[in-house]
Structure 1
Amino acid sequence: MTSDARSVKSNRSASSSGATTPASEPAGNIVPASRSGDFMSFLKDVLSFTGDLSSLTCPSFLLNGISLLEYGAHWSDYPHILAEITTAATPEERMKLVARWFVSTLYGSYNKRVAESNSGEKKPFNPILGEQFLASWDDSEYGETTFVCEQVSHHPPVSAIYFENARAGIYGSGHFSQKSKFKGTTMKVVQEGRVTLRMKNTDEFYCLSLPDLNICSILSGKPFLEMSSTTFIRSSKGYTAEFHWFTKPWLYGEYHKFDGKIFRDAAAKFVLDSSSQEQLFTFKGKWVADSLVTDLATGEEKVLFDVQAQPAADIIIKPIAEQSELESRRVWQKVSEALGSGNYDVASREKTAIEEQQRAIRKARADSGEKWRPSMFFWVDDAADEEAVKTSYAYLYSAKDSVGTGSWVYSNSPHLVGKSAGPSAYTSGAQTPSDAFSTAQSSVA
């Protein structure tokens, strides 16, 4: 039985029971006492910097010891929630389950690791070009879910992802990129990209946009993350889910609240509160705790997603010794080990060595005229894609242009099987999707 069939009463009881609910803010200061001077110096650099903050070198004691690619794996943190989408009998119910899954992925990506450790938000490693992260999850009912991620561009940074549950017949691919800057006392992270979710049994797909992020309380050394902006999911059957992510008001209110709605809309482009929208469901709650969905036809209120009632599955990753030289945990092994032991000087040296090696590789490639290409993904302009994909993203583009007009697609995606057109036929502008994705000027190192 899916989680939204649980009673609202039981959800509220679990949510109000106290101690196990994820904290809104971390309690610990992430800055070691011995590094307070370095932290203040770094803050001065950050506050006076006017460009994208990703180009600044971050002190090693502010690093969390994992690659940004690992964050992508949270799209599969709850494999049963992903697989259960395929069990719904109607497109309306499937859209509701897609919305539930989307909320679960955001909790995994942006709060779970901090809530479990009760520590502040730290910076992940910037993946090297071609870096890969591979993982899987086992579920007793739905079987294995697999995940792959590859860094398809370094300047600017773009990560491409693919996940699949073959038994359930559901899979998705997409990409994301982040640009950050200071706004007041908060680091604003604008996310660009998209994820396309597909199902085999209904020949149906869903187009998803990404929220913006706010890293708060940086000046106090206790950073935590809030989500902001509006995001959308558009189905190929004409249904739309609209999410509003709220930051806490300055004086009053709560952290991590959101609300939204699901409606049917036959229009070609999204228009806010258009009369063409047939309202079906509304939802509200906290994306780090629990949320509710209301059926507007019946007035019935059920659980959408409950963090306490939905334990994340254990991720399965090969031992480092069995990983390729491009897999994340092997690439960053020495840096992570040094961070784990608190040896920040060694961590800085090892990180610098990796970065210098990458610069040398890029220079050699440029000198020889070599064009680097990803090994697992290829770029598809919407103009060269399926008509339904193009029209679904065109619907979203008027409201959320950060989805761009093209996608990074997994080369072995099931929807490509049996088609005569492969990557070479699909790819338009070969590795230079600058017109389609505003931050992706080139995927050539």
Structure 2
Amino acid sequence: MSDTVDDQPGDAVPASQKSTWTHFIKSIASVSGDLSSLTAPPFILSPSPSQNFPGRTPEDRAKRVLKWFISTLKGQYTSRNETMGSEKKPLNPVLGELFYGHWPDKNGRGLTTLVVEQVSHHPPITAYYIANASRGLTLQGHSAQKTSFSGGNIIVKQVGHATLTVSLPNEKKEEYLITLPRLRIEGLWYGSPYIELAETSYIQSSSGWLSTIKYQGKGYFSGKSHSFKADFTPPIGAGSGSQASSFEGQWKSTSKDTRTGAVFTDVTSPKEEVTVRQVEEQGEWESRALWYKVAKGIREGDFETAAREKSRIENEQRQRRRDEVAAGTSWQLKHFVHQGDDPLYERLGKLFKAVPPIEDVYIYQNNGPTFDDSA
């Protein structure tokens, strides 16, 4: 994939859908304020569980966490560009929608499991939990989106955070607070949208090591798309043996240590995808079973069937909400419990003056499915 974006209009939009696409873009441009009703959340955390955690020192572990995080960005934000020609508007997830997956135990890395639940529809909020028991790793988080339109682009402010917990050989635990970058969806007027990351995100370790990641896209006259620079700084008051460092490059391809020139991340080779049960084996609330007919219609160009099935699912959701109101009940989450504040976020966020200073959290209840550990 080149560093520039194809400027030919409509390359990724089917001819029969170009008028619909134009109408969609015009509708976005006419809205001032939140666009949550028009766009679906583009974020789902999809880790590449290949790093050899936990590492020997706090510095080494914090650096490995940064490396892992950068290595996940391509899969999260440019996979649709490469497989479908451009960024596509995701289907609006329904309240209670589920996604289960795992990465089998290979080469002694242990089984890694994934549980995702749509915990809110308006606004759309996705909660997730990833664990590798043999490595002593757990990742828990949630993401929501606040979207707006500015300068011909869709601006997506990601709300939420993730916390990574690493169990150490001495039975202590190390914790990491991971905040989320802002997104900018460009190329709309050409019918070939793509995602750029913007502004700054952070990874704060309980050991004090901090990664400050600044994102930048291709400018009018210079620069490369999907670029970043990460400053890796030691705890306040650390001795002379703790040295700051920085890494920069493109999160969709390669990056280097700015001091030594050594390769830091390289995501150009194919990555192992998460293993998911066949559609016929899934429950009715699991994503691929729930949206099967819609996805099939889109892939086959049968947009009439896709639209009809999509409307059916959405109408059923509206009716469930009306029934709940009439009965004075509310939807019960399956795997997560909402908590109004997150003490870990507040404690680690103070170390780099996180904004906002307080966030809520969804706590996983350790009641996910049993995964097949075979390769």
- 1:291 Cα offset (Å): 0.5
Matches of 2:140 and 2:62, distance apart in 1: 18
- 1:322 Cα offset (Å): 1.1
Change (3 A) 1:46 1:109: same
- Name 1:308's counterpart in structure 2: 268
Could you tell me the TM-score, scaled by structure 2's length? 0.89
The structure carrying a bigger helix percent of its residues is 1
Alignment counterpart, residue 123 of structure 1, candidates 69, 89, 114: 89
- Name 1:146's counterpart in structure 2: 113
Aligned 8 A contact 2:113 2:131 in 1: yes
Change (3 A) 1:141 1:301: farther
Alignment counterpart, residue 105 of structure 1, candidates 64, 72, 76: 72
Alignment counterpart, residue 356 of structure 1, candidates 297, 308, 315: 315
Alignment counterpart, residue 149 of structure 2, candidates 158, 166, 182: 182
- Name 2:5's counterpart in structure 1: 25
- Name 2:129's counterpart in structure 1: 162
Unaligned runs of 5+ in 2: 368-375
- Name 1:7's counterpart in structure 2: none
1:372 equivalent to 2:331? Answer yes
- 1:407 Cα offset (Å): 1.5
Aligned 8 A contact 2:3 2:224 in 1: no
Residue aligned with 2:188, SS: coil
- Name 1:400's counterpart in structure 2: 355
- 1:55 Cα offset (Å): 0.9
Matches of 1:389 and 1:40, distance apart in 2: 41
Aligned 8 A contact 1:236 1:389 in 2: no
- Name 1:442's counterpart in structure 2: none
Deviations, residues 152-185 of structure 1 (Å, cap 9, x unaligned):
1111111001001111111110000112111111
| Higher mean C-alpha deviation, range 217-226 or range 25-34 | 25-34
Identity %: 34
1:280 equivalent to 2:239? Answer no
Matches of 2:243 and 2:202, distance apart in 1: 15
Residue aligned with 1:177, SS: strand
Aligned residue type for 1:405:
E
Deviations, residues 9-49 of structure 1 (Å, cap 9, x unaligned):
xxxxxxxxxxxx56643687121122222222222222112
- 1:193 Cα offset (Å): 0.5
Residue aligned with 1:395, SS: coil
- Name 1:433's counterpart in structure 2: none
Deviations, residues 270-309 of structure 1 (Å, cap 9, x unaligned):
xxxxxxxx75211111111101125xxxx53422110125
Unaligned runs of 5+ in 1: 1-20, 59-66, 268-277, 414-445
Residue aligned with 1:250, SS: coil
Aligned 8 A contact 2:80 2:86 in 1: no
Alignment counterpart, residue 411 of structure 1, candidates 348, 365, 374: 365
Matches of 1:119 and 1:393, distance apart in 2: 38
- Name 2:300's counterpart in structure 1: 341
Matches of 1:266 and 1:150, distance apart in 2: 38
Higher relative contact order (CA 8 A, sep 6+): 1
Matches of 1:144 and 1:250, distance apart in 2: 45
Aligned residue type for 2:44:
G
Runs of 4+ in 1 over 6 A off after TM superposition: none
Aligned residue type for 1:280:
A
- 1:253 Cα offset (Å): 2.2
Deviations, residues 242-285 of structure 1 (Å, cap 9, x unaligned):
00001222232221111021112349xxxxxxxxxx75211111
Matches of 1:22 and 1:369, distance apart in 2: 54
1:54 equivalent to 2:36? Answer yes
Aligned 8 A contact 2:80 2:88 in 1: no
- 1:406 Cα offset (Å): 2.5
Matches of 2:308 and 2:146, distance apart in 1: 26
Matches of 2:251 and 2:137, distance apart in 1: 24
Alignment counterpart, residue 289 of structure 1, candidates 222, 230, 253: 253
- Name 1:328's counterpart in structure 2: 287
* Matched length: 357
